Each structure stands twice: as C-alpha cells, then as structure tokens.
Structure 1
Amino acid sequence: MAVIDFINAENKTYKGMKRAISYILNPEKTEPHLISGHNCDPENAYYEFVLTKRHFKKENGRQFIHFVHSFAPYEKVTPEQVHEIAKELMQADIFKGFQVVAATHTDKDHLHTHFIINTVNAETGLKWKQSREQLQVIKDYSDQLCRNHGLQVIKGEQGNYKTRGEYRSHKKGQSWKYELFLAVKACMRNSISKEDFISNMNRLGYSVNWTDERKYITFTTPEGKKCRNRKLYPPERFTKENLLKTFEMNKKYQDKKVLDERIELLFTLIRLLSINGNNVNSKYPLTSLEGQVLKDKVKEMQKGEGLDWEHESEREL
C-alpha cells in the first residue's frame, strides 16, 4: 500500500524550489537510475521550471508542489519497482503538460519517492490549482497502479485527504487529535494483536471501542473527546484491516521483548514528563516528546548505556 503525503514547506521562492529539487536529487539518498523527469530533464529541472515561469510571465505565488509517495517497510517491493510506479504515476492526466521531477529514496527503512511539480503548466501556462478533489484523483490513480503491480491496497474513506501541514496543525482545540494520532501510531507499532493494542492504548489513558458490529473504531481521549479511526491521517493507515495487518507483521518480524521495552520506555518518559512538565506537556505528552528528545533517549538505550531513571527527572527534557 502506498501513502501520499503533501509537504507544506516554503514554496513561494526560487531559492526554496532550488533547495527542494537539490534535496530530492541528493546522491546520498538516491541513485541515478532512480531519478526521472516528466516534461523536463531532472538534472536541469530547476532552470527549466524557471524558464517556463518566465515565458508565461507567472513568477509570483507558489513556485512548486512537493509530495512523497511512500511504501510500508514490510511491502515486498524493490527500489526499481517503486520508481517504475512513480514513473507511471507521472503519466496521469492530472500531470499533463506539467514538468515533474521524481526521485526514489532508499536511505530510510521504507522506500519512498519525492515528486517536485512546477506550478506553471509548460503547455498551457495555467497554474496548478490544488484541491481535495485533485488529491483524491492522485490517490485513486496511485491505488490502481499498486493493484496493477500486485500490491495490497487498503480501502479508505473518499474525500478524507489532508496535507501534512493540516494534520500537524497545533492550533488551539486541535492538539488533542494530534496527540491521539501519536498515541495510536506508537501503540500500533509496538503491538502484536488487537488485544495488545487496546491494552497499550488504555495505559496511555485512551479507551478503545473496537467491535465487529461497528465499521469504525472509536477512540475516547482522557478528556472524554471521541474520534473515529477514519478521522486520523492518512485514513488508509488506520483502518481495522491495516491495523491487524501491522500487528501480524510485528508478530512475525519483530522481537516481542524489544516491542515491550520500547513501549515501556515511552510510558516511563511520559511519567517523567508529568513530573517535570508544565500543563501543556502534561496534557499532550506525546506531542511534547515528539522529535529529538525521544530519539536521543532511544539511541542511548540502543547503545547499551541505559538510562538513569532516578536522576532523569532532574534533567531538562
């Protein structure tokens, strides 16, 4: 199953566009045979994008679109297969006349392809108009390509497409949903069964209503707010079917002892945060821990140095 994630980075300057193209073509992340262009030469994509904009006198506003096409670590695909799907995706009617450069990255535990689109159409001069309908068209075409290549596709909700920026929004009143997203993601990665997942969610303070009679799972936060799994982004990743598939993969390929240690580490960090943290940190501990703090502590444990929990609460998290 492939997931599409639109990147809401700085995209209104030539400098930002050049930086984005350079990033996806970084030789430390990809290889020459995993780079392709649609209506442009990848190595000269930046200059060709600029020439198109100047030709049609459209150099203002959004300069480029950046999205990532990702496959789960357990998908049995090669970098070449992932890139072939990327090349086929660029042939979709929605990209007709647009210049696109794509590079498949192999530097992470999951294979993924970055796409950079020139917002000015090289044939018509019209600008790319991003809408939820367009995002759904790309997603549907991606699903069809995955089926054509014999890959699993999880049926999700129509129209429930969100950009990364929308979902990462921490505006007042929305942080509870992002905190829930982080909780579900952490528990699904460290559980080997439905029962194990529900138990871990309960330990984080969430109740889970998951029954065969109901189509969706309903999560209830410690504050009593309710949210169905179809409202989490991306919805395909959090369907009942995909959660169960993830548990199966964890059970088959992961060491249960390691999974238990990881989830216990998370619980311990949350307890420490509640001791030291302010009201915001205590209310949304996973949001507070997200990023370098948790990564550093996990690396510390993996090195075998251990953690001095008795004195850890005296340090700044």
Structure 2
Amino acid sequence: MKRAITYILHLQKTQYHLTAGLNCNTATAYEEFVLTKQNYKKENGRQYIHFIQSFSPLDKASPETIKEIADKLLQHKMFKGFQVVYAVHTDKPHLHTHFIVNTVNADTGLKWQLSKEQLQELKDCSDELCRQYGLIVVKGKEGNYKNRGEYRSKKKGASWKYELYLAVKECMRNSSSREEFITSMEKLGYKVGWEDNRKYITFITPDGKKCRNRKLYPPEKFTKENLLKTFELNKKYQDKRLLHNRMELLISSIYMLSKSTSTNQSNYPLTFLKNRDLKGDALKERIAELKKGRGLNWDKKIDHER
C-alpha cells in the first residue's frame, strides 16, 4: 500500500498541484489509512483499491481539467467516508488519473465492496463527466477510442475508418500470405503500402484517404508481425480453397450492394453487412436476395395470377 501511494505521487509522473486527497492529506495518506484500519481493528485482508481513469491522447484537455474531473468523480456516493489519494499522471501520451482507496471506511468501519452493477454505475458516471467536458469516452482495457467526428459518423453508418477496419479484418482473416492479403484489399478498392524498410503499413481508401495500421484499434492486432503470424496460422490450419471461396463470396456481396440505390450501403458495404451480422448461409441468402433486385417482379406476379 505504501509503495502504491508513493508510486502515484512520484513527481517524475505528476506535479504537486495535480495530486490531492479525499478525507486525507497526500503527505500523510499512508499513516492515515493505517490508523483507520487500526481504529476499526481491520488490518487484515485487502489493504487498498487501485484504479485508473484514462483519457484519449486525441483529447486536448489540460492536466488541470483532468484533475477537476477526478475531483467530481470522487463526489460519487460510493466514495462517501472513504479515504482516497489520487494524482493525474502526465508521463504518457494519454493523461490518466491514479486513485488509491483505503479499503476501510473512515466513517463507518465497513470494508469496500463493489458489485458489478455498482462498478458499471461508477463507469457510467466517469463517461458522463467526459461528455460534459466534451472529451472522448474511452472503452475497454486497451483504451479503444474514436475521435468525435468518427464516432458520430459511425453512429450514422458513415465512418470510412471503421469501413477500412472491417476490410482489413476480413482480408486478414481470409488470407494465407501477405500477397493474398494485398490482393484481397485491392479487390475491395484499397491500396496497400507494405514496404520492408518501413515500420508501418499505409492503407489508401477508394476515395484517397490514408491511414496507417497503427491507427486501427487495437493497434497490436494490426502490426506487421501479427498480420504475418495470422497468415501463417491460416495457412497451417485452414483450407486455402475455403479462404479463397469465402473472400470471393464477400467480394460478390459487396459488388451487389454497390448496385443498391442506397448511397450509404454503397459507400460502406462492409459496415452494412456487419450491422446485420451476416455470415455463412445468411450471407449467401443476402447475396441471392440482392441479385433479385428491389421490389416485386410484376411480370412473374401477373403470370402466376393467370
């Protein structure tokens, strides 16, 4: 517990004005935590809770604003009576706040307990504070996030980067070599700049937008090394003909969607298919449906009635 408190308050990671204590003083937090435990004769078991509130590196918020958000988060009813020492860290590309909570409540002597529902309530509170300050809501342990414009576009079904992500993911899943991957991407309309002397892969969308593989999330999934590893596994464990047929089926469905009268479907066919969770036979049925075209075939209807 002492090491954890010392770590989050280290001035190589934060600044004095970015640290604070709830129901305790930062300079004497450890001693105060121990006194509370001794007072209630609860010195055994879990000593502290350590959690982190992370923010996107795309946010332009100042460390002082992040500190203000932490202050407000600790006003939540779940922290009432608990001693908390916290600090905003500025040593990473993304700002983040560390919280160390004493497991024994200074007012009641009860130990910290948080159900899944209460934890979700706390996360929701954090997300709402981010929205109030116009910040990006970060999702998941890996810190997955999208910038505001992209997030709004995705909600409308119009995110070019999400469409690229789906294209890379599908071609990666259905390729057994780097060459097959690049060819499959090209069939979907994407150019791939994969050079051995460059660290990153550059993707160019059909309308000319550029994006490096490190901008797709989670980035570790789309590194050169992981892509090549996936191709090797595909080659080893899957039938190459199956991969080829599955890719051709997907390309066929996208071609049919491009003939659709819906502009959104035409521009973002993979998103359209993904939102309907089309796989296997369902995908084949959708292709057959698209081949029929829209509306009723009146000639056949009339013939049938005759």
Q: Give 1:62 shift.
A: 1.1
- Offset at residue 24 of structure 1 (A): 1.0
Q: 1:274 to 1:150 in 2, by over 3 A?
A: closer
Gaps of 5+ in 2: 151-158, 176-207, 237-306
Q: 1:200 aligns with which of 159, 168, 173?
A: 168
Match of 2:79 in 1: 95
Give the AA of the match of 1:98.
F
The Cα shift of 1:102 comes to: 0.8
Distance 1:61 1:196, change over 3 A: same
* Residue of structure 2 equivalent to 1:69: 53
1:107 pairs, out of 91, 94, 101, with 91
The equivalent residue for 1:315 is: none
Q: What is the deviation of 1:19?
A: 1.7
Q: CA deviation at 1:204?
A: 3.4
Structure 2 counterpart SS, 1:130: coil
- In the alignment, structure 1 residue 86 sits paired with structure 2 residue 70: yes
Alignment of 1:1-317 (within 5 A): 17-153=1-137, 193-205=161-173, 256=212, 263-270=223-230
Q: Deviations over 1:170-221 (max 9, x none)?
A: xxxxxxxxxxx99x99xx9xx96233211221233279xxxxxxxxxxxxxx
TM-score (norm: length of structure 2): 0.53
After superposition, give the CA deviation of every residue in 1:1-53 in whole Å (9 maximum; x if it has no partner): xxxxxxxxxxxxxxxx1121111112111111110100011121111101100
Give the Cα separation in 2 of the matches to 1:94 and 1:269.
45
How far 1:147 moved relative to its partner? 3.0
Q: Which runs of 5+ in 1 are unaligned?
A: 1-16, 157-161, 165-180, 208-250, 277-317
Maintained 8 Å contact 2:55/2:137: no
- The offset of 1:140, in angstroms, is 2.2
Deviation sequence 1:40-74 (CA, Å, 0-9, x none): 11121111101100010001111111110011111
Higher gyration radius (CA): 2
Q: Structure 1's 58 and 45: CA in aligned 2 closer, same or farther, altered over 3 A?
A: same
- Contact conserved, 2:174 with 2:234, CA < 8 A, in 1? no
* Pairwise CA distance, 1:273: 8.2
Aligned CA distance change for structure 1 residues 31 and 192 (closer, same or farther; 3 Å): farther
TM-superposed CA distance for 1:153, in Å, is 4.7
Call closer, same or farther: CA 1:58–1:259 in 2, change over 3 Å. Answer: closer
1:68 is aligned with what amino acid? I
* Structure 1 residues 260-313: Cα deviation after superposition (integer angstroms, max 9, x where no partner): 99743432355578999xxxxxxxxxxxxxxxxxxxxxxxxxxxxxxxxxxxxx
**Identity among equivalent pairs (%):** 49
Report the 3-state secondary structure (helix = DSSP H, G, I; strand = E; otherwise coil) of the residue aligned with 2:50.
strand
Q: Deviations over 1:124-158 (max 9, x none)?
A: 1111112112212211222232233233558x9xx
Partner of 2:283: none
Q: Secondary structure of 2:86's partner?
A: strand
**What secondary structure is seen at the aligned counterpart in 2 of 1:151?**
coil
CA distance in 1, matches of 2:135, 2:80: 26
Partners of 2:117 and 2:223 lie apart in 1 by: 38
Provide the secondary structure at the position in 2 that maps to 1:193. Answer: helix
